[in-house]
Amino acid sequence: MCGVLGWIDPALIDREAAIRMAEPALSLLRNRGPDDQRLDWGPGWILGHTRLSIIDLSRRSSQPMTDGRGLWLVYNGEIYNFRELRAELEASGCRFKSDGDAEVLLQALKHWGLACLERLRGMFAFALVDTERRELVLARDRYGVKPLSYEINGAGIRFASDLRTLRSLPDASREIDSESAYLYMALGYIPAPHTIRQRVRKVKPGHYVRVRWTDGGVDDVRELPYWSIRALHDDGHPADSVKGDHLVEFERRVADAVRCRLISDVPVGTLLSGGIDSTLVTSFSRELSDYALPAFTMGFDDPSFDEAPFARAIAKELGGNHHAFQMTDSDLEDVWDRMWTAYDEPFADASAIPTLLLSRRVASSVKVALTGDGGDEVGCGYEWHQALNRLDLLGTVCGEGLTNSRAERMGRFRKWHRIPEGRAIDRAGIWSALRTGLSDEMLGVLPLADPLAQQPLSEYFREWSRDLSDVDDCFTWAGEMDLLTYLPDDLMVKADRASMSVGLELRSPLLDHELTTWLLRSPVSARFDHQRRLTKVPFRRSLERRVSAALLDRPKQGFTPPLAKWLAGPLAGQMADALERLNSGLLDPIVLPRGCTSWRDCDPALRDGNIDFLWRIVSFSEWSKHAGDS
Residue 240 confidence (pLDDT): 46
pLDDT band at 320 (very low <50, low <70, confident <90, very high): confident
| Angstrom distance (rounded) from CA 174 to CA 198 | 7
More confident of the two residues 415 and 450: 450
pLDDT band at 393 (very low <50, low <70, confident <90, very high): low
| Angstrom distance (rounded) from CA 275 to CA 310 | 8
- Tell me the backbone φ, ψ of residue 388, rounded to 5 degrees: -65, -40
Q: For residue 430, what are the contacts with CB-CB under 8 A and spacing of at least 6?
A: 388, 391, 396, 397
The predicted-structure confidence for 433-444, as pLDDT tens digits, reads as follows 889 988 888 888
Residue 237 confidence (pLDDT): 47
Q: Is the pLDDT of residue 383 over 70?
A: yes
Q: Is the pLDDT of residue 629 over 80?
A: no
Total residues belonging to the chain: 630
CATH 3.60.20.10 intervals, the chain: 2-179+192-227
Closest listed residue to residue 138, CA positions, set 202, 208, 207: 208
Residue 402 confidence (pLDDT): 43
| Angstrom distance (rounded) from CA 431 to CA 330 | 38
Question: Do 168 and 28 meet the contact criterion of CB atoms below 8 Å apart?
Answer: yes
Average pLDDT of 540-567? 84
Closest listed residue to residue 261, CA positions, set 509, 613, 554: 509
> Can you give the three-state secondary structure of 374-431, one letter per residue?
CHHHHCCCCHHHHHHHHHHHCCCCCCCCCCHHHHHHHHHHHHHCCCCCCCCCCHHHHH
Q: Is the pLDDT of residue 294 over 90?
A: yes
User: Strand 2-8 to strand 156-160: parallel, antiparallel, or no bridges (unpaired)?
Assistant: antiparallel
Q: For residue 566, what are the contacts with CB-CB under 8 A and spacing of at least 6?
A: 329, 332
Closest listed residue to residue 341, CA positions, set 624, 23, 22: 624
3-state secondary structure of 244: coil
The predicted-structure confidence for 263-288, as pLDDT tens digits, reads as follows 999 999 999 998 999 999 999 999 99
- Sheet of 368-370, strands arranged across: 322-327, 295-300, 268-271, 368-370, 505-507
pLDDT band at 421 (very low <50, low <70, confident <90, very high): low
List the single range of 165-174, 243-252, 352-361, 405-414 with lowest mean pLDDT.
405-414
3-state secondary structure of 49: strand
| Mean pLDDT of the chain, nearest integer | 91
Distances (CA, A) of 139 to 8, 117, 459: 16, 9, 27
- Enter the CATH code of domain 232-379+488-552: 3.40.50.620
Residue 419 confidence (pLDDT): 59
The predicted-structure confidence for 88-116, as pLDDT tens digits, reads as follows 999 999 999 999 999 999 999 999 999 99
Percentage of the chain with pLDDT > 70?
A: 92
| Angstrom distance (rounded) from CA 107 to CA 89 | 8
Long-range contacts from 219-226, C-beta under 8 angstroms, 24+ separation:
221/152, 221/157, 223/193, 226/114, 226/117, 226/118, 226/139
Residue 239 confidence (pLDDT): 46
More confident of the two residues 217 and 6: 6
Superfamily of domain 2-179+192-227: Aminohydrolase, N-terminal nucleophile (Ntn) domain (3.60.20.10)
Closest listed residue to residue 372, CA positions, set 539, 186, 210, 541: 539
Interhelix angle 474-484/383-393, nearest 10 degrees? 140
- Sheet of 45-51, strands arranged across: 36-42, 45-51, 2-8, 156-160, 149-153, 200-202
| Angstrom distance (rounded) from CA 207 to CA 195 | 17
The predicted-structure confidence for 477-526, as pLDDT tens digits, reads as follows 999 999 999 999 999 999 999 999 999 999 999 999 999 999 999 999 99
Residue 398 confidence (pLDDT): 39
The predicted-structure confidence for 578-593, as pLDDT tens digits, reads as follows 999 999 989 999 999 8
Q: Is the pLDDT of residue 560 over 90?
A: no
pTM, 2 dp: 0.94
List the single range of 88-92, 183-187, 394-398, 518-522 with lowest mean pLDDT.
394-398
Question: Do 295 and 321 meet the contact criterion of CB atoms below 8 Å apart?
Answer: yes
Triad 80, 82, 88: Cα angle to 5°:
140
- Tell me the backbone φ, ψ of residue 196, rounded to 5 degrees: -70, -20
Q: Is the pLDDT of residue 244 over 70?
A: no
CATH 3.40.50.620 intervals, the chain: 232-379+488-552
